[in-house]
Amino acid sequence: MEKDKESVFNSVPEFEYQEKAVSIDAAEFVKLCESRRSVRVFENAPIPEDVVEKCLDLAMLAPNSSNLQPWEFYWPKSADKKRQVVEACLGQPAASTAAEIIVVVARTKTWKKHARQMVELFKTSEQKVPDSALSYYEKIVPFAYTQGPLSIIGLFKRVTLFFLGFFRPIPREPVNHQQMILWASKTAALACENLMLAFRAFGYDTCPMEGLDSRRMRKILGLPRDAVVVMAIGAGQRSARGVYGPRIRFPRDQFIKRI
């Protein structure tokens, strides 16, 4: 398995595929990022359903860990469900005035099914798929993401990796359930950013809400045990009162560390 790991990580596999880098209007993306603000009050105006669908599709174009796509997007359609979701968002205007609310969820167990799906897709692919890719999903992924009850397998991995780590660089995480939540939530957050930028690109605005009652939200959404609420995103048409003030960012030197 180490051999496969080496070949996956350290060598470029044989394949016949090319995808040219298309040119993008950078100024338009700068304008997009600068115009995206957390909007906390929305006009009483709907978002066309096909726009929401398109934004969700763009969200799922975000990169994600090992392409295991551990994200889900809960979209309350009925007035009653939406009311409950607004309550779980503490009734804040960003939720109560939103035309739509998307609750982004991370899953820590769907990777098993998704790894199998990858293998099936590879085996039925017309493209030549390198063996290293197949064995990545058949061997390395199960090794990397299986933690076992009470993360006992993870603990075993942690100890093993600790000693292996003396001799060469080696991945250290995830080795317990908490780190699986972190793993899945990071990927889901990448999709959240795409989703918020997408709404802005289509003329709407959003507000990410982490200050919510995750316990109530779990019940309302009927989440399975391995699911974690990452954030709720309210979306709609920006109200004139929607942005509470100029954007504040601290001096960039606090954050950019040249080493």
Q: How many CB atoms sit inside 10 A of residue 195's CB? A: 26
Q: How many CB atoms sit inside 10 A of residue 150's CB? A: 10
Smallest distance from a copy of itself to CB 203, Å = 6
DSSP state of 78: S
- 127 contact partners, CB below 8 Å, separation of at least 6: 15, 16, 17
Among 9, 112, 148, 159, binds a copy of itself (CB under 8 A): 9
Three-class SS of residue 102?
strand
By CB under 8 A, tell whether 108 contacts a copy of itself: no
- Element spanning 112, H or E: helix 111-123
Check: CB of residue 8 under 8 Å from CB of residue 132.
Answer: yes
Binding to a copy of itself, residues 11-70 (CB under 8 A): 11-13, 15, 17-26, 28-38, 40-41, 54, 56-58, 60-63, 65, 67, 69
By CB under 8 A, tell whether 101 contacts a copy of itself: no
CA distance 209 to 40: 10
Query: Which long-range contacts (C-beta less than 8 Å, at least 24 apart) are formed by 156-165?
Result: none
The binding track of 67-96 with respect to a copy of itself, each residue x by CB under 8 A or -, is x-x-xxxxxxxx--x-----xxxxxxx---
Place of tokens 């954007």: 247
By CB under 8 A, tell whether 210 contacts a copy of itself: yes
Nearer to a copy of itself, 5 or 153 (CB): 5
Nearer to a copy of itself, 131 or 173 (CB): 173
By CB under 8 A, tell whether 159 contacts a copy of itself: no
Among 200, 232, 234, 235, binds a copy of itself (CB under 8 A): 200
Binding to a copy of itself, residues 174-193 (CB under 8 A): 178, 181-183, 185-187, 189-190, 192-193
Check: CB of residue 232 under 8 Å from CB of residue 101.
Answer: yes
Binding to a copy of itself, residues 212-231 (CB under 8 A): 212-216, 221-222, 230-231
Smallest distance from a copy of itself to CB 148, Å = 18
Total residues binding a copy of itself (CB under 8 A): 121
Among 46, 48, 142, 171, binds a copy of itself (CB under 8 A): 171
By CB under 8 A, tell whether 234 contacts a copy of itself: no
Could you give the strand order of the β-sheet that contains 205-209, starting from the edge strand earlier in sequence? Answer: 100-107, 227-236, 205-209
Nearer to a copy of itself, 138 or 178 (CB): 178
Check: CB of residue 55 under 8 Å from CB of residue 199.
Answer: yes
